[in-house]
Amino acid sequence: MPKRKWQSQSCQFCHCPGHNVRACPKLAQKVFKAVQRKHSADKVADAVSQGASSFAVCGIQAALHVDAIGKAWTELKQRGFVKSGVRGSRASFPCPNCQHSCVCSVPLNATQGRSAAERRKHTEWLQRKGRQLNTVWFRGTKCGNAISCIRFTHLPQMKYSMPLPQILDFIKEFTERPVPNLQDICKRVGVSRSSSSRSLFQFLLQKEAFVGYRLMQKVQLSGIVEADGTALKLYKRSGHNHFIALWGLVERPQNQKPPRMVVYMMPVKQVAHNAVCPVESRADVLSCKGLEHVVSEETDKGKVTSLLVTDGAQLYARLAREHGLKRRYVVHSKGQFAEKQRISGRGTVNVNTGLIDQRWSAIKQYVPKSLNGSSKPGNTPAFCPHLWAYVYSWWFRAHFPSAKRRVDMLANAFREKA
């Protein structure tokens, strides 16, 4: 019986008959070891250029999968999302299911400090326990339970565990995007909009908002400061209109830096079903203590009283006198939107509220239009807590445009909380 073509050919890599280079087991083994030893950049490229696939591709994928999980865990540590351990550099963590005497120290499926036989043994044990090999697993020294590395991070505990590399990609996409959007981030990372991705998105958004709100309390404004209010959302309930209003102050910048601002959410305004949003009230402005952020301006000639620029609302005249501020205004109802006025100590000043109006437009573009403004039905009308998170997340990103700096500030906030 004549030999078939595949039986008579020989491999160009190992020169053995019966297979070609694309199905060579020796080449697959060589590539697998090269990836495990972290020399994958050049040797994998050489193997692929030689036509390696089949067994070789399986080896490459398996090794790269383990390596990607380890790199993701290391990068989460560097970004400050991992809690501090109990033994310093060894990064041992107390077991969350036991007392402090039980410790989780060395990850089971890590590439460092583990031989191939040990990793294979632990991988088979994890598979028997029904654990998914898409994250780093620890094992308690006394209880012997398998514990995911997510339990030792500041991230929320997810019902459906996402692969660790995708969690890291999700965090990167969230911090680097100018406007975070759950649907776009999930498409980019390759995950579904499940409860895990939603909880991770809300966690990152709220952390940015908390850090932003805390930093905003330390802001001091001086010079020419514009003050105004706006309606952010409207929702209808029980035959009434409910307006969610914002009030804020913005300092006109002296250089190319972003203008500094403070913004506060006012109590929900309940009006008739055909009424518009009422103007800001004196009680609301005093309750948020926003004018306490305005201080005198330091100049070469000494301290100069700051100038408050507003619209024609009557409440600002008394508030400016009580806080020792100069005030200039334009009346929008009379068609006055910009007017040049001469002020002692400042020369000619363009009196308008254009800068703070730009800030209001930026906030409204940042907050999703699909987000409902109301909270759960109750006796007292209240706004949705997600609105608070979006508003102060915008403040945080507007004042700190660098994504790397924002991640460092979040990591510092995690350390202070711990």
Tell me the pLDDT of the chain (418 aa) as tens digits. Answer: 455 554 556 777 777 777 776 667 777 667 666 555 544 445 555 655 555 554 444 444 444 455 677 788 888 888 888 887 654 434 578 887 776 678 777 777 666 556 667 777 877 777 777 777 778 888 877 787 888 888 888 888 776 678 888 888 899 999 999 999 999 999 888 888 888 889 999 999 999 999 999 999 999 999 999 999 998 887 777 778 888 889 999 999 887 778 899 999 988 888 888 888 888 889 989 999 999 999 988 777 778 889 999 998 889 999 999 999 999 999 888 888 888 888 887 888 899 999 999 999 999 999 988 887 666 665 566 777 888 999 999 999 999 999 889 988 988 888 776 5
pLDDT of residue 66: 54
280 φ/ψ angles, rounded to the nearest 5 degrees: -65, 145
pLDDT of residue 378: 59
pLDDT of residue 9: 67
Q: How many other β-carbons are positioned within 10 Å of the β-carbon of residue 384?
A: 17
Which residue, among 248, 229, 222, 219, has the nearest Cα to 307 in the 3D structure? 222
Considering the entire predicted model, what is its pTM? Answer: 0.79
pLDDT of residue 249: 95
Q: What is the CA radius of gyration of the chain?
A: 30
Domain residue spans of the chain: 9-73, 91-153, 157-218+384-418, 219-383
List 326's β-bridge partners, or say none: 307
308 φ/ψ angles, rounded to the nearest 5 degrees: -100, 120
pLDDT of residue 166: 87
